Structure 1
Amino acid sequence: MLNHRPTEASQLAMKIVFMKHLTALLFAALLANPAMAQATEFRCLVSIDATTPIRLQFDFPQSERAHAAVRYQRGSKPIPLRALKTSSVEMTPGRPFEFTTIWQEPGKNGGTYTVATQGALINEFTYLRARDKKTFRFEEDMGAMETSRCKWGK
């Protein structure tokens, strides 16, 4: 009786073929489900210096031309934001740059959000309220993260 054990080369070839098929299936699943293909990157945040905590969801734009949006826990709908200014700085050589973007709410009394990110990290998130120039600082609220939006307890 012959012993047909696959060689290392044939095992590697089978793994490559399997990975190609798996990648194709995953890509097909994304195309078949537009909600997954257009998933929004978002963060849940909570104020760290307000008397009563303010909770919001910040939706990052998915392209350079797209707008960001913010949705408050007690708000009725997302507020579109447009980028006013973006700057970057190399904090540590070889590490991702830190990008800071100032976002403007619509209208003459719209406040501004300053968001500093480095890779997936939010290093700073503040809101400057236009009517009284009060600044609110926020930090991530990891407990509110769900698959496609923030969920806060009542």
Structure 2
Amino acid sequence: MKFSSAVFSALLVFVPLAAHSEVTTEVFCFRSYEGKPINFEFRTYYDSVAKWSGAGVKYSKSKKAIGLVHRSTEQEELVYGRPYQYTTTWVEVVDGALTGEYQMVTQGGRVDAMSYTNYKSAKKYSFENDYNVDSKPETGCQW
């Protein structure tokens, strides 16, 4: 009887994990080197079953994340036979208002460019992916 209750308890613990395992999370750490340094964590989420994706940013000096909504993804074949280049645009939503957009350019497993445009000021900021910063979905960017 003890064995079967242990197996049942183990199933209760692991079955919910299996049910939610379709969602993948990626964490990127970005730095700005123009003027005053700006650091932020960019997270993407993708649910392969629901075909849903989302994202958020959290600046290193902020306690709250900012939600992003996927606007578009464009693909381009730069060199025949090589991985496509993808340009993905995410719109920033703060208190129900669209306040800016993030644009990320990737090819293969590399992030080639990241920029943020503030809608109010029209100012554009460029960022570099900092591959030296330790990051995990559980802990985020360890600045």
How far 1:80 moved relative to its partner?
1.4
| Deviation string, structure 1 residues 103-148 (Cα, Å, up to 9, x no partner) | 1011434110011111111111000012211110000112222333
Aligned to 1:91: 78
Matched, 1:60 2:44: yes
Q: Percent identity?
A: 29
Aligned residue runs from structure 1 range 1-154, under 5 A: 34=17, 37=21, 38=23, 40-49=25-34, 51-63=35-47, 64-106=51-93, 107-148=96-137, 149-152=140-143
One-letter amino acid matched to 1:55 = N
- Distance in 2 (CA, whole Å) between partners of 1:108 and 1:78 is 15
> If you compute each CA radius of gyration, which structure gives the higher value, 1 or 2?
1
Structure 1 unaligned blocks of 5 or more: 1-30
- Distance in 1 (CA, whole Å) between partners of 2:64 and 2:91 is 16
- Distance in 2 (CA, whole Å) between partners of 1:123 and 1:46 is 13
Runs of 4+ in structure 1 off by over 4 angstroms are none
- Scaled by the length of structure 1, what TM-score is found? 0.69
One-letter amino acid matched to 2:122 = K
How far 1:33 moved relative to its partner?
9.0
Contact kept, 8 Å, 1:109 with 1:131, in 2: the verdict is no
CA RMSD of aligned residues (A): 2.3
The structure where strand makes up a greater share of residues is 2
